[in-house]
Chains A and B, each alone.
Chain A
Amino acid sequence: MDTVVGFLMAGVGNVDLRRKTNYLIVDSKTTVKQIEDTFKEFTTREDIAVVLISQYVANMIRFLVDSYNKPVPAILEIPSKDHPYDPAHDSVLSRVKYLFSAESVASGRR
């Protein structure tokens, strides 16, 4: 919640005529389904270029985040306030790890 408040103060909040916001505050009452639906909506909207998602929230929908492949909108996992950044769960770094492990397996076979 604090992360969203902070970024809204920095001026990135948008509310359109239908009162739809370009942010979602995740609290104890937010369901995983709501997060999934919002993620899908933000990644299909044409006016969104970067999606910032707390790592804690990304872990709840890890499958969706990891299966996302398009360059725009770019997904950026940011540290959560209560959960420090964990590089093992970052989707970009886990893809890199996968790439390197595939390469080392391939070079071992040669």
Chain B
Amino acid sequence: MDPVPSSVRLTVREAVHTLSSSEDGGCIFSTLGSLKRYLGGTENPALPGEQEEFARVHFSAVLRCLVSKLNPDWLGLLPNGQLEELWASFFLEGPADQAFLVLMEALEDTPGPSFRLMKMARLLARFLKAGRMAAVMEGQCRQQAELAFPLLQEALLIKVVGLPDRLGNCLQHENLAEFFPQNYFPLLGEEAVRVLQAVVDSLRGGLDCSVSFVSQVVGKACVYGRQKEILGVLVPRLTALTQGSCLWQRVCWRLVECVPDRAMEAVLTGLVETAPGPQVLARLLGNLVLKSKKARFVMTQKLLFLQYRYTTPVLQSLLGYLAMDSQRRPLLALKELMETWGSSSAIRHAPLAQQCYVSKAVLICLAHLGDAELQDSRDELLASLMAGVKCRLDSSLPAVRRLGMVVAEVASARIHPEGPPLKFQYEEDELSCEMLALATPQPAADSPSEAGPPVAPVAAEAPDKQTVEGGVPQVRPQGSDSELDSDDEFVPYDMSGDQELKSGKVPMYVRDCVEALTTSEDWERWEAALRALEGLVVRSPAATREVSVELAQVLLHLEEKTSVAGFEGLRQRALVAVTITDPARVAEYLTSQFYAINYSLRQRMDILDVLALAAQELSRPGRFRRTSQCGSPGPTCPPSCTVAPTWRAVVDERIRRKTRRFSKGSSRQGPAGSPNEFNSVAGYFFFPLIQGFDRPLVTFDLLGDDQLVLGRLAHTLGALMYLAVNTTVAVSMGKALLEFVWALRFHGDTYVRRGLLSAVSSVLLSVPAERLLEDLPDELLEARSWLADVAEKDPDEDCRMLAVKALLLLEKLKDKLLPLSPP
């Protein structure tokens, strides 16, 4: 036992006794005043030794005692809230860490809405507002490492970062706005900057300091998912402060280095997302990736290969950061990126968004790397590139193919600059434009946000406009004569019908067309025959039926020998017209040709398209009325017939006026019911197609390389199934289609799977519910489990969506049947 109990201890003991027992306001006030001396800042402060002892040993006890006395009566002992002010000053002016801990502790111990709780919450709000949080953190920074008390630090850390959650729990609906995370974390960020400022100042003064507590606070806040709030404040401030100050930069590097490993990923992703460009990122991070293994893993692996949610600018600043320094440059993992890009399994299993992400990363890397660096690993890069291009061009998804083309064009130009440039034909869309823009190296501006708004182009534009306006009077056409006749009375008529005249060799009969298409060397006649064919077929069905199969054969083998505008459409429409006119025989022919040898994929897909379109036309209700009304569609009609509607309206109006009707009400007829014409011929369309898919030919292997056609086949079968609604063959078609789907359900190609899923949906839509349950219960069960599986696990988003839709249809089916089951 210390023989000389210090005067401080005695004073404190006495004061605590007075506080706990006295009811006299004046006495309490003077007692508190005497204690306040130990905090310094009054007129006659205590000796520094005493102050220090009070702060270290007795302060918490005093505070706890003060907290325990808090109630309205006690505060009311002196008028004008003098006592409250004095009471609060102990928390606000005393050592911040202890005050904070005692406050938090008391808040959590105080039961639900009460005077004391609210008082303390307000006090804590004042505490925050007064910037005491910086003092809390600063205190931890100033402590020498060996003196730091890890348990206390840990407790403090948890309380500092967890403050919004804890207060939310304590105060429930009474919570104050200051404690909301969206307000608290930005404040914490500000305070962190102040602490860092203090650290920098003391470093300048030659004092040792540690930033590790701030690092821990930032790290923990980021782990809590508050990157945006805290880094949104911290990063801009640090960006400004680190500019041109080495000390600040070093403090900043240290700050990131000291982040514990488990928080490193959260902090780094936050920083990469918030930093406005690679230069800023480099200033903030320094060579962190070389020093910390965890950081290197996050930056070079996780952000590039495992995640893909970041935007292109984030990717650019990440890769730009890696490329900026010669030491970091080897980490720019183009080879790995290229390998991932070229791996066929990655292409098959990665979602499209991730493929885009990796492609963008490849392009950005290419823009950063110099030719010499590329030459070193040229062979490996080329090999991966070629593998990736091949796999992507084989894909049946247009977006994937386009991705392959864009990357191939750019990458081959960089990797193999001396060779002939690779050039693909693809439609430019937003993505491809963005990717092409990535391939050009960024200008070395410090960062886009620091460059300020682009003022220059606007200024440059303005005089331009003026000169244009000034030039107008000169451009005004000088009339050849001064005659003042205005052109207003000469309003031009519509001249859009003024097209080039085709020569008048249009065949008048279907047979003539066939002859012209097969034998004619006169290309104008050939083209005229092709253009006239659809109209002729529609107008003369009897004549068409005589030559239908022959005509279909001719059309199927027709090649575009001259560049006829809209050749594909003309040929397809003619084929569809022939198929509609004589469905059974032509469909039989076409389906047999689908599995015959010596056809191109294009022709086979044409067959599928024609069958689907013809089926659609046949199954359309009321198609007779339409065909009888319009004799010849489109091109053969003289333009003057455009007046027809007005003429018709005039006649109708006249009839209406002259006719007396006895019944009121709607005179419009509803659509007349007519049988589905597809009913009798659906089998010709469907069954031959579905039968031969698993028999490979020499030139045509649906289950092998020709998966594009397989996907199209699945879609077509689904469409035919859907169009066969209300027909008698629908049930057996549905059964066959479900078997087909079952056989192919694990196909690797996305397009095929999409086709299968839509086929399942059309079975559910077209086959009557009762028949489904009676005839196909097992198939339905199997399909259901497969759909559930796809809906959860398929890498393609569209597939998942289609599966969910099919599942919904199944559910609806169940709902429809359930009311029947109970008697």
Q: Answer yes or no: do A and B interact.
A: no
